[in-house]
Amino acid sequence: MSVIYPLHTGELGGPLLMTVLGVGGLALFELSVTGVWQWWRRRKARRMPSSTRNR
């Protein structure tokens, strides 16, 4: 339990750990956004009539 607070505040890993966590957070955000975007495109394409989909 004594390791959690310094790890959370960045005292334990320093700037390198904070950078790694920041990049990981941005990657998670990007994957979430692109996943919803692809789902929305596929959902929209499924609702189109087949004659307009093949153009």
pLDDT in tens, 12-44: 888 888 899 899 999 999 999 999 999 999 988
Q: Within a domain: residue 13?
A: yes
Residue 10 phi/psi, 5-degree rounding, is 95, 5
Q: Within a domain: residue 53?
A: no
Look at 9 and 49; give whichever has higher pLDDT.
Answer: 9
Q: Within a domain: residue 55?
A: no
Helix (H) / strand (E) element for 30: namely helix 14-47
| pLDDT on residue 9 | 80
> Which residues form the domain of 39?
4-46
Q: Is 49's pLDDT higher than 80?
A: no
**How many structural domains are present in the chain?**
1
Any idea how long the chain is?
55
Q: Is 51's pLDDT higher than 80?
A: no
